[in-house]
């Protein structure tokens, strides 16, 4: 089993960024899984295209458009002047950023700066003290728990440890969102579960328990479970840290392919600058409670902010020869 998995991971590693997500599928499940994923991809693509057209029109109207200015199109996810404290301890102060449909935002910043807290606020697990939070294009402040669950089916989160249900198998974990819909036949569910596990590089692990898996494998399964909800957006908390370099590379490639081929809107919390540069359309750098920088990766490369430069330089020192680069 271990040899098989290593071979599978090595194969996936050789496929590179451009390989199609569906190439990994065995022929008997491929049509079902492709149809299932394509429905979500088509809807996501239509939204992303509308954004591009709108942005092109706006750029024509104003040559001075900058990502610091108000967004030119309706963002899919946004923080507008969000503040959050725990007791006297201020974590976020007037933080603003946005993510357009189909785009990827990377959240950067040192440990304890509020990156995970920001994701928890977006998922509605924590409430901000002030400010507006937009998720799936709507203000989530007044939503009931039931309404928030609808939002969470469009925007799902992949936690660092996977946050899988420990007492049920990997297959049951991935099947969970499919069963909740109550409109699918059992063999269709089993095919999609098998296919999603193949897609994320952990084929054949349906009957294992989460406790039998490595951290990286748990994260892959968590991504498969997130995809089973046919989301428009996925939030990832440090997806490539605390795993071996090959696994980090595979997870990084997978996130990039999900963005490119399923047009998923993504937010990725990461310390890995090369990964961020490869993946991000925009970057927000949190520092001492504020969004010290928010802009495109291009703008980040040109910034003269000494604090951001110090962070980038430290990142180079801490992680020499990082795996996620090509
Ligand atoms: N529920 C909570 N109650 C009290 N304090 C909290 C809570 N959640 C987070 N914090 C505090 O908020 C601060 C920001 O935490 P957060 O987990 O967002 O950091 P982070 O940027 O994700 O760091 P890391 O890179 O280490 O994961 C920390 O000081 C943390 O102790
Ligand atoms: Mg964190």
Tell how far the Cα of 115 is from the centroid of ligand 1, in angstroms. 8
Helix (H, G, I), strand (E, B) or coil at 68: coil
Q: Kindly tell me if the per-residue pLDDT of 121 is higher than 90.
A: yes
pLDDT of residue 208: 95
Is it the case that residue 250 has pLDDT exceeding 80? Answer: yes
Question: What's the gap in Å between 205 CA and the centre of ligand 2?
Answer: 28
Which residue, judged by its Cα, is nearest atom 19 of ligand 1? 112
Stretch 204-224: mean pLDDT, rounded? 93
Superfamily covering domain 2-59+100-128+141-318: P-loop containing nucleotide triphosphate hydrolases (3.40.50.300)
Distance 109 CA to ligand 2 centre (A): 10
Q: Is the pLDDT of residue 324 over 60?
A: no
- Distance from the CA of 119 to the center of ligand 2, in angstroms? 9
Q: Which pLDDT belongs to residue 248?
A: 85
Across residues 302-324, what is the average pLDDT?
Answer: 71
pLDDT at 320: 47
pLDDT of residue 240: 87
Can you give the residue ranges of every domain in the chain? 2-59+100-128+141-318
Q: What is the pLDDT of residues 182-208, one digit of tens each?
A: 888 999 999 999 999 998 989 999 999
On the question of pLDDT at 70 being above 60, the answer is: no
Two structure tokens written together for 18:
């451009």
Q: What is the 3-state secondary structure (H, E, C) of 197-218?
A: HHHCCCCCCCCCCHHHCCHHHH
**Residue from 91, 238, 240, 268 to probe ligand 1 pocket by mutation (most atoms less than 8 Å from CB):** 91
Residue 296, pLDDT above cutoff 70: yes
The per-residue pLDDT for 281 is: 94
Closest among 73, 18, 80, 84 to 51, alpha carbons compared: 73
Ligand 1 atom 28 nearest Cα: 112
Neighbouring CB atoms inside 10 A of 34's CB total 16
pLDDT at 141 over 80: yes
Mean pLDDT of 46-74: 59
Asked if 72 and 54 count as a contact pair (C-beta separation under 8 A), the reply is: yes
Cβ contacts of 66 within 8 Å, gap of 6 or more: 295, 299
**pLDDT for 150-161, tens place per residue?**
899 889 999 887
């Amino acid at each position: 089993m271990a040899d098989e998995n290593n071979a599978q991971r090595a194969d996936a590693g050789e496929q590179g960024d451009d390989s199609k997500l569906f190439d990994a599928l065995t022929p008997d499940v491929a049509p079902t899984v492709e149809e299932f994923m394509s429905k979500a991809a088509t809807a996501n693509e239509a939204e992303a295209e509308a954004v591009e057209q709108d942005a092109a029109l706006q750029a024509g109207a104003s040559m001075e458009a900058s990502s610091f200015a108000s967004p030119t199109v309706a963002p899919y996810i946004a923080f507008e002047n969000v503040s959050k404290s725990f007791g006297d301890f201020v974590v976020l102060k007037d933080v603003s950023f946005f993510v357009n449909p189909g785009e990827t935002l990377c959240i950067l910043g040192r440990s304890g700066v509020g990156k995970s807290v920001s994701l928890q606020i977006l998922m509605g697990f924590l409430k901000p003290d002030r400010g507006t939070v937009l998720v799936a294009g709507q203000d989530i402040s007044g939503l009931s728990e039931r309404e928030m669950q609808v939002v969470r089916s469009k925007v799902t989160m992949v936690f660092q440890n996977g946050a899988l249900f420990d007492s049920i198998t990997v297959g049951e974990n991935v099947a969970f969102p499919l069963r909740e819909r109550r409109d699918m036949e059992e063999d269709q569910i089993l095919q999609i579960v098998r296919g999603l596990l193949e897609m994320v590089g952990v084929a054949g692990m349906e009957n294992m328990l989460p406790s039998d898996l490595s951290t990286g494998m748990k994260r892959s399964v968590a991504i498969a479970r997130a995809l089973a909800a046919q989301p428009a957006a996925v939030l990832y908390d440090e997806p490539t840290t605390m795993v071996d370099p090959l696994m980090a590379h595979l997870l990084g490639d997978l996130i990039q392919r999900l963005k490119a081929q399923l047009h998923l809107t993504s937010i990725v919390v990461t310390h890995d600058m090369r990964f961020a540069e490869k993946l991000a359309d925009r970057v927000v750098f949190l520092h001492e409670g504020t969004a010290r920088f928010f802009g495109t990766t291009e703008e980040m490369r040109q910034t003269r902010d000494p604090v951001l430069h110090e962070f980038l330089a430290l990142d180079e020192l801490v992680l020499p020869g990082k795996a996620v680069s090509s």
